[in-house]
Structure 1
Amino acid sequence: MNTPLFSINAARRASGQTIHEIALSAREAADGRPDCFVSVLSTDQIEVQVAKVEAQQAEGTELPLAGLTFCVKDNIHVAGHVSTGNCPGYGSVASKTAPVVQKAMDAGAILIGKNTMDQFATGLNGTRSPDPICRNAIDPAIIPGGSSSGSAVAVAGDICDFSFGSDTGGSGRVPAATNGIVGFKPTPGLMSGLGMVYCNRSFDVMPIFAKTVVDVARVFDVVGGADPLDPFAFAGVVHPMPETLGQNFAVPAELDYFGDADAKAAHQANLQSLTDAGATFTQIDFTPFTEAGDLVFGAALVAERLVDYGDFIERNPDAVLPPVAQAINAGRAYSARDAFEAMYRLAELKLECARILRGFDALILPTIPRLFTVAEMLADPMPLNSIMGTYTYFANPLGLSAIAVPGISRHDGMPSSICFVGPGGNDRALLQHARTFTAM
């Protein structure tokens, strides 16, 4: 799957379109997808960005993302715009743009708008938003994945070249899987986390969505790096790309596809492709990873969501969707002691999981265990949403990096997705593993 850099933009450039025409075309497309965008920048606002880029190009300024279009999830701050978390009535006009977004714009990228999301980033399925809910770019009957639903669909639907979302328990990987694109979740703190409405501040990461791994890496080159002003910045060792890329991978001893035979067959085929290319697999006990994820969403650590949303929900109970309110209010049942006990257990699990992964080049998983239709999710929202995080919940609390990439097509025509997970700071090697797989 050798795709040129930023295939969406490349096709438009090849047709003779200028940066100005590309940006306005993207704006028009975004304006026509109210399910995908909460707000779209005005023509004047986009033309100001384009004029700045063209002036800098005329002066010879190096702009690595010149003329590329992008969008951001509605919980990421853009100066002059409200970050509502897709909850009308919540939030206020941001005075500053998030550093990651500003870096992209300073590199020449053109911001188009802010994306639909599962309300307050509480959900992995994409149906937890006011009408209209975001629709999957491939099959509108299938959930788009969440909570960064619009951010993924805007890329998969050829509206923007790349986008930024947020990822606490899988929101940068699950919607990438359901829409057949790449979703890269860096090591927590290896991109600035400032300038957001947070779900769980301790674990939130801004992922990058794009059509290819090469595109994602190009954006990461611009916006990546620990922010010295971010109190949650990564303080570990950032490893360069190794000269030789190993192929010794860990896989869970048992996998549950929750009855989706197509998902099972596709993942086995993806693993066979890696085997044919020389990869070796060793089965590991996945139980500690599952427990780490459960601590964030099924224990006292869930109370962290009350920091940004708790007071609003208490004052405005009818303004929040019932599944979202239920998920956030669950934190009220825990004590401070419960939270500390959960933190202690998580620290133990970090050591245990690091020991399990020591010596492996990456952990390989199906990004999601199965697909659900919108109708299925709406009929049983709480348990089915949890299923979507089976293989994603653990990564951020354990400080790991992860990237979801499209695999072979399933028998039903939907894409499969495989996820490479690596130690914190090993993002470059992880990107290369993913790029090697997509080139098979």
Structure 2
Amino acid sequence: MSKPDMDIPRELTIDWLQAQYGSGKLKPERVIEEIICRSHEDEGMNIWITPPRLERIQPYLDHLKTMDISLPLWGVPFAIKDNIDLAGTPTTAGCPEYAYVPDRHAAVVERLLNAGAIPVGKTNMDQFTTGLVGTRSPYGETHNALNDKWISGGSSSGSAVAVARGQVAFALGTDTAGSGRVPAALNRIIGYKPSLGAWPTKGVVPACASLDCVTVFTHSLQEARIIDVLVRGLEPLDPWSKEIPRMVDKLPEKVYLPEKALKFFGPLAEEYSKAWDAAVERIEKLKLPVEYIDYDFFEEAASLLYDGPWVAERWASVGEFIESTPGVTFPVTEQVLRSARTGKHDAASVFTAMHKLQELRMKSNKLLRGAVLVMPTCGGTWTREKVEADPVTTNSDMGRYTNHCNLLDLCAVAVPAGDAAAEMPFGITLFSLSGNEHLMDRAAASFLEAAVTSVEVKRQETMMVAVCGLHMRGYPLEKQMLEYGGQFVRESHTAEKYQMVKLPTIPAKPGLLKKKAGGSAFALELWEMPVASFGVFTSFIPAPLGIGKIELADGTEVSGFICEGYAEEGAEDISAYGGWRNIP
């Protein structure tokens, strides 16, 4: 398959695609061709259940020619979690034996198609949305977009990773316990969960129908808002749908933070704790009143999701299928679902839990009126190997700060908040009352803007840094350059003294080695970075890469990414391409 004529950045966004389409420089067919190439490259990451294939996408491309190019999502590729219906394409909910072929699109999908978006495939997920880790699927464990050994988060794992890996501009997920937020945090993207009922769930396989939400993953808060506006609104045939109008964004009256020290779990617990402290420090510097509160009643609400009778609602959705097809369900998924049949939850206990929840909702409604609550998105993270060894405890610890959300009828947005460790992102979630997306969005924007402002303040003393791989513009790690205050200056070339190899990492990275004799020149980018943040930035660079002096074509030397010599063994020599952007 040939590559598109122009460079398509690894980070696909609605804005960039619309600008290219409008200028005539790019056509949707070329974008789809590139997406299919990328899906083949990432095949081992188990992102897709129904992967991007031209024969399935072509009818949508053909239909696009009859549509107005001014439509808000004209030609924009998106992915669909495989518990959401796309007409004519199997819906599996992560279980092959459960699969059916719908004859109608889910309501949210229909609205996106009418706006000109192109569905490219159905994504992998924790089976029957029962999990927050991204490993509970017979289609394979979805790998983290940044670090192959670590979990991607679930249950909307494939959708989040598809966005983070540049295979779509946005992706639909679902959220009952945190599935539309946790994978966003672990893959350094935005996870947007609207108020219950604001987006219709008609055409979605239910988990807990009374709590389920459709969500979206994007690269920016602004693009999540675009999707929200397009799919929000009453669906007359959906019994859970509500008319919840979108209000004009404004700052909340107050930001709440938990007063007691939070506990984190897993091998990066200490790093998560430090990242949370840094996020709190940034929040405290916002021009908003901050108040510390007792978080206990939110924890009490969260415990009801799996310890209370709502697990029986999950059984009501798929229990008949599990009973009629013994042995086909993913083992840990069946274990969780069958816990509803222990006899613990009789009719009286259901009403007892509902009455308790109503009391807790009254408390949260009173507390959060005009305000937002900020919490870590995840309780920790783990390697895929650790989760395999202890799938239940790790999943429970992951959801400690997320599970209260839908039970209390809150809306939420998960946003990046720096990295806890090298290529291990950390995120926070902002919560507000139903219908108050305008408050959480503006607060989230202020938090993200504060990072940019901090960078500008620190930009006074800078140094030049050369990058030649994934930190260049349009690639996944450009975000690190920006986060640590980097500002692109210009393109350049090395002196003719180097060799470039392709390191066998996931994702693949280039290694630049200086030769004693001979060698070639390679394209790179020069960035200006604050001296104050350079040390922290370099601490995240994994071996065999490091920072050293790179000689440029004009004879000057700058700091930049170099590779240790031992890495040449077993690596592919790609010197003939003249730079990372030229690699097919």
- Fold equivalence (TM over 0.5): yes
Q: Return the alpha-carbon distance in structure 2 between the equivalents of residues 188 and 303 of structure 1.
A: 20
* Alignment of 1:258 onto 2:265: yes
Which protein is richer in strand relative to its size?
2
Give how far 1:396 is off.
0.6
Equivalent in the alignment of 1:335: 346
* Alignment of 1:439 onto 2:449: yes
Q: Return the alpha-carbon distance in structure 2 between the equivalents of residues 280 and 349 of structure 1.
A: 24
Q: How is 1:238-317 mapped onto 2 (pairs within 5 angstroms)?
A: 238=245, 240-242=247-249, 244-246=250-252, 248-254=254-260, 255-258=262-265, 260-317=269-326
> For residue 345 of structure 1, what is the amino acid of its counterpart?
K
Q: Return the alpha-carbon distance in structure 1 between the equivalents of residues 402 and 24 of structure 2.
A: 39
> For residue 392 of structure 1, what is the amino acid of its counterpart?
T
SS of equivalent to 2:257 = strand
Structure 1 residues 431 and 280: CA distance shift in structure 2, 3 A:
same
Equivalent in the alignment of 1:154: 162
* Alignment of 1:27 onto 2:36: yes
Give how far 1:405 is off.
0.5
TM-score by length of 1: 0.93
Question: Which consecutive residues of structure 2, in runs of 5 or more, have no partner in the other structure?
Answer: 1-10, 451-584
Equivalent in the alignment of 1:368: 378
Give how far 1:420 is off.
0.6
Asked if structure 1 preserves the Cα contact closer than 8 Å seen for 2:39 and 2:52, the reply is no
Equivalent of residue 421 in structure 2, options 408, 411, 417:
411
Give how far 1:80 is off.
1.1
Q: How is 1:415-430 mapped onto 2 (pairs within 5 angstroms)?
A: 415-430=425-440
> For residue 187 of structure 2, what is the amino acid of its counterpart?
N
Equivalent of residue 392 in structure 1, options 402, 408, 419:
402
Structure 1 residues 107 and 11: CA distance shift in structure 2, 3 A:
closer
SS of equivalent to 2:406 = coil
- Which range moved further: 176-185 or 346-355? 346-355
Q: How is 1:4-403 mapped onto 2 (pairs within 5 angstroms)?
A: 6=14, 9=17, 16-34=25-43, 35-40=46-51, 42-57=53-68, 62-234=70-242, 238=245, 240-242=247-249, 244-246=250-252, 248-254=254-260, 255-258=262-265, 260-333=269-342, 334-359=345-370, 361-403=371-413
> For residue 336 of structure 1, what is the amino acid of its counterpart?
A
Note the alpha carbon deviations across 1:320-340, whole angstroms, 9 max, x for none.
Answer: 111100111111122222222
SS of equivalent to 1:166 = strand
Q: Return the alpha-carbon distance in structure 2 between the equivalents of residues 389 and 377 of structure 1.
A: 14
Please say which structure displays the higher CA radius of gyration: 2
Asked if structure 1 preserves the Cα contact closer than 8 Å seen for 2:146 and 2:423, the reply is no
Structure 1 residues 12 and 367: CA distance shift in structure 2, 3 A:
farther
Q: Return the alpha-carbon distance in structure 2 between the equivalents of residues 33 and 12 of structure 1.
A: 25
SS of equivalent to 1:123 = coil
> For residue 93 of structure 2, what is the amino acid of its counterpart?
G
> For residue 433 of structure 2, what is the amino acid of its counterpart?
P
Q: Return the alpha-carbon distance in structure 1 between the equivalents of residues 139 and 121 of structure 2.
A: 18
SS of equivalent to 1:158 = coil
Structure 1 residues 120 and 347: CA distance shift in structure 2, 3 A:
same
TM-score by length of 2: 0.71
Q: Return the alpha-carbon distance in structure 2 between the equivalents of residues 232 and 50 of structure 1.
A: 32
Structure 1 residues 277 and 15: CA distance shift in structure 2, 3 A:
farther
Give how far 1:198 is off.
1.0
RMSD: 2.1
Structure 1 residues 231 and 79: CA distance shift in structure 2, 3 A:
same
Question: Which consecutive residues of structure 1, in runs of 5 or more, have no partner in the other structure?
Answer: none
> For residue 350 of structure 1, what is the amino acid of its counterpart?
R
Note the alpha carbon deviations across 1:112-155, whole angstroms, 9 max, x for none.
Answer: 00000001100000011114211000001111000000000000
> For residue 158 of structure 2, what is the amino acid of its counterpart?
G
Asked if structure 2 preserves the Cα contact closer than 8 Å seen for 1:125 and 1:143, the reply is yes
Q: Return the alpha-carbon distance in structure 1 between the equivalents of residues 135 and 127 of structure 2.
A: 9
Q: Return the alpha-carbon distance in structure 2 between the equivalents of residues 351 and 246 of structure 1.
A: 19
Q: Return the alpha-carbon distance in structure 2 between the equivalents of residues 378 and 10 of structure 1.
A: 42
Give how far 1:211 is off.
0.7
Q: Return the alpha-carbon distance in structure 2 between the equivalents of residues 369 and 10 of structure 1.
A: 37
Q: Return the alpha-carbon distance in structure 1 between the equivalents of residues 248 and 439 of structure 2.
A: 5
Asked if structure 2 preserves the Cα contact closer than 8 Å seen for 1:79 and 1:95, the reply is yes
Q: Return the alpha-carbon distance in structure 1 between the equivalents of residues 19 and 48 of structure 2.
A: 23
Give how far 1:434 is off.
1.6
Asked if structure 1 preserves the Cα contact closer than 8 Å seen for 2:94 and 2:139, the reply is no
Asked if structure 2 preserves the Cα contact closer than 8 Å seen for 1:182 and 1:405, the reply is yes
Q: Return the alpha-carbon distance in structure 2 between the equivalents of residues 5 and 151 of structure 1.
A: 15
Asked if structure 2 preserves the Cα contact closer than 8 Å seen for 1:121 and 1:199, the reply is yes
Give me the identity figure in percent: 34
How many residues are aligned here?
432
Asked if structure 1 preserves the Cα contact closer than 8 Å seen for 2:13 and 2:169, the reply is no
Give how far 1:33 is off.
4.0
Give how far 1:11 is off.
9.1
SS of equivalent to 1:349 = helix
Q: Return the alpha-carbon distance in structure 2 between the equivalents of residues 15 and 146 of structure 1.
A: 38
> For residue 402 of structure 2, what is the amino acid of its counterpart?
T
SS of equivalent to 2:407 = coil
Note the alpha carbon deviations across 1:73-94, whole angstroms, 9 max, x for none.
Answer: 1100111122111111113111
Structure 1 residues 271 and 436: CA distance shift in structure 2, 3 A:
same
Q: Return the alpha-carbon distance in structure 1 between the equivalents of residues 232 and 74 of structure 2.
A: 17
SS of equivalent to 2:39 = helix
> For residue 352 of structure 2, what is the amino acid of its counterpart?
E
Asked if structure 1 preserves the Cα contact closer than 8 Å seen for 2:47 and 2:162, the reply is yes
Q: Return the alpha-carbon distance in structure 1 between the equivalents of residues 143 and 107 of structure 2.
A: 29
> For residue 93 of structure 1, what is the amino acid of its counterpart?
V
Note the alpha carbon deviations across 1:148-188, whole angstroms, 9 max, x for none.
Answer: 00000000011000010110000000000100000000001
User: Structure with the greater relative contact order (CA < 8 A, sep ≥ 6): 1 or 2?
Assistant: 1
Q: Return the alpha-carbon distance in structure 2 between the equivalents of residues 213 and 292 of structure 1.
A: 28
Structure 1 residues 102 and 239: CA distance shift in structure 2, 3 A:
closer
Asked if structure 2 preserves the Cα contact closer than 8 Å seen for 1:405 and 1:419, the reply is yes
